[in-house]
Amino acid sequence: MALTQSDLVSPEQYLAEEESRQERHEYYDGLVYAMTGGTLTHNILAMNLLVRLMAHLQGSPCRAFINDVRLQIESADCYFYPDLLVHCAETAKSSSTVNSAKVVVEVLSASTSNYDQGKKFTVYRQLESLQEYVLIDSEMKSVRVYRRADQGDWIFHAYTNDETVRLASIDFSVSLTELYDDTGIEE
C-alpha cells in the first residue's frame, strides 16, 4: 500500500499517542513503526550486559537503561527504543525519553539486522553525545562496536569467540563468555 501525506504523523502526534499505548512504537521520518517482541536469547543478551553495566556504573553520573526508555534524536525528528543505552546527563527529558546517550546497544535479529546496521545507525550518528554503537549478534558469538573518533569518523571493532569487548567511553569491558552466558550460543 502506498503512503499518502495523511499517513504521516508529526512528532507531537506520535508522542501523544505513544503515551496512551501499551505497545512500544518507534518514530522515523514521519512514520510510526510497531516494535516486535524479542526472543529469549535476545532478552538474555540484553540483561547480561545490563547487569554488568549497572554494577560498573554505580557511583558515576551514568545510568544504563533497557528497551523501555525512548531515545530522541532531535536533529532527525526520530524516537527509537534501543535495546540498551547508557545515559550520562543529569536529567532525563521526561520519565520515558532521553535526548542523549553515550552508548547505544542493539541486539540483532534476522528481522532487524539490516535496519539496525543501516538506517538506524545513520540516524544514531547524528546524536552528538553518542560515542559507541554496539551491535550484539543473537545467533552467533559476535559483537561489533563502532567508536567515534576525534574527527567524527567511526572506527569499527569486531569481537568473536571469547574475546573481551571494550567500551572506551565508559571504561568498561566484558568478555563474550560472560555476555553470552546462558544463551546456548557457542563459538
So where are the chain's domains? 38-179
Mean pLDDT for the chain overall = 88
Whether the model pTM is above 0.85: yes
**In the prediction, which pLDDT does 3 show?**
37
What is the DSSP track for 41-70? Answer: HHHHHHHHHHHHHHHHHTTSS-EEEETTSE
In the CATH scheme, what is the homologous superfamily, with its name and number, of domain 38-179? tt1808, chain A (3.90.1570.10)
CA-CA distance, 51 to 120, in Å (whole number)? 25
**In the prediction, which pLDDT does 129 show?**
95
Quick one: average pLDDT of 40-52?
A: 95
Q: Give the model confidence (pLDDT) of 59-114 as tens digits.
A: 999 999 998 899 999 888 899 999 999 999 865 555 788 999 999 999 998 887 88
**In the prediction, which pLDDT does 2 show?**
37
Quick one: average pLDDT of 139-165?
A: 94
Contacts of residues 5-11 at CB distance under 8 Å and 24 or more positions apart, as own/partner, are 7/31, 11/77, 11/79
Most confident of the ranges 42-46, 106-110, 113-117: 42-46
Higher pLDDT, 171 or 24: 171
Nine-digit cell string for 56: 560498573
Q: Is the pLDDT of residue 41 over 90?
A: yes
**Nearest C-alpha neighbor of 43 from the set 107, 116, 134:** 107
Q: Is the pLDDT of residue 132 over 90?
A: yes
Which H or E element spans position 113?
A: helix 113-117
Using 50, 70 and 90 to split pLDDT, how confident is the model at 58? very high
How many Cα atoms are found within 13 Å in the side-chain-facing hemisphere of 74?
A: 8
Quick one: average pLDDT of 175-181?
A: 96
Q: Is the pLDDT of residue 5 over 50?
A: no
Question: How big is the CA angle at 110 (ends 50 and 156), to the nearest 5 degrees?
Answer: 60
